[in-house]
Amino acid sequence: MKMSEFKRMVAGELYKASKVEPEYKPDNNRALNQEINQLNLLDTEKIVALEKELFGQTGDELFVNPPLYIDYGKNTRIGQRFYANMDCIFLDVAPITIGDDVMFGPRVSLITASHPIDAGVRQRGLEYGKAITIGNRVWLGAGVIVNPGVTIGENTIVGSGTVVTKNLPANVIAVGNPARILREITDSDRLYWEEKENEYYEK
């Protein structure tokens, strides 16, 4: 049996967006996205309630600071205690999976959509997407762009303005365009910041 156009899209196969939209009917999600962006920023309870409706799955605690921009919404699944600063983009033609205790700076872009290298095939309207996976306790700095098909391992930090084109392992700091590993995150980092934390509570 031939796969539906929407299932082809989510599975990372070639598809035509013009055929997906009538089948999937994303208009309600896009209207919901627009409603969130028009709310008073102090109305956090309403914002969170609508965001839980917008995304495919969320934890109990999350806050994505408007404005935010989403393609489908239901293809993005988010773990517990997620925070994203303003102006983030979730281009989720393929699945986006975000773990627990993840933080995004402003203008982070998760881009699952891509197009064929061949200009003729591209011109004829075929495109595809590749899933993005963000591990637990990852921090993406301001302006980070994550490209299609990328997985970022748990605890990893990605510096501001970085373009992540390939997978990153757990427990590293990565920077640059394209992203390169600056160094590993070590026990000395933990000890240093736990000492600073103790000083905070003692003062």
Q: Where do the domains of the chain lie, and which CATH numbers do they carry? A: 3-200 (2.160.10.10)
pTM for the full predicted model: 0.94
Predicted confidence at residue 119, as pLDDT, reads: 97
CB 67 within 8 A of CB 102: no
Token pair belonging to 123: 């011109």
115 labelled catalytic:
yes
The residue annotated as part of the active site, out of 30, 115, 126, 136, is 115
**Cα gap 147→165, rounded to integer Å:** 5
CB 92 within 8 A of CB 76: yes
Divide the 203 residues of the chain into consecutive groups of 10 and give the mean pLDDT of each group: 85 89 74 95 96 96 96 95 98 97 98 97 95 98 98 98 98 98 97 96 88
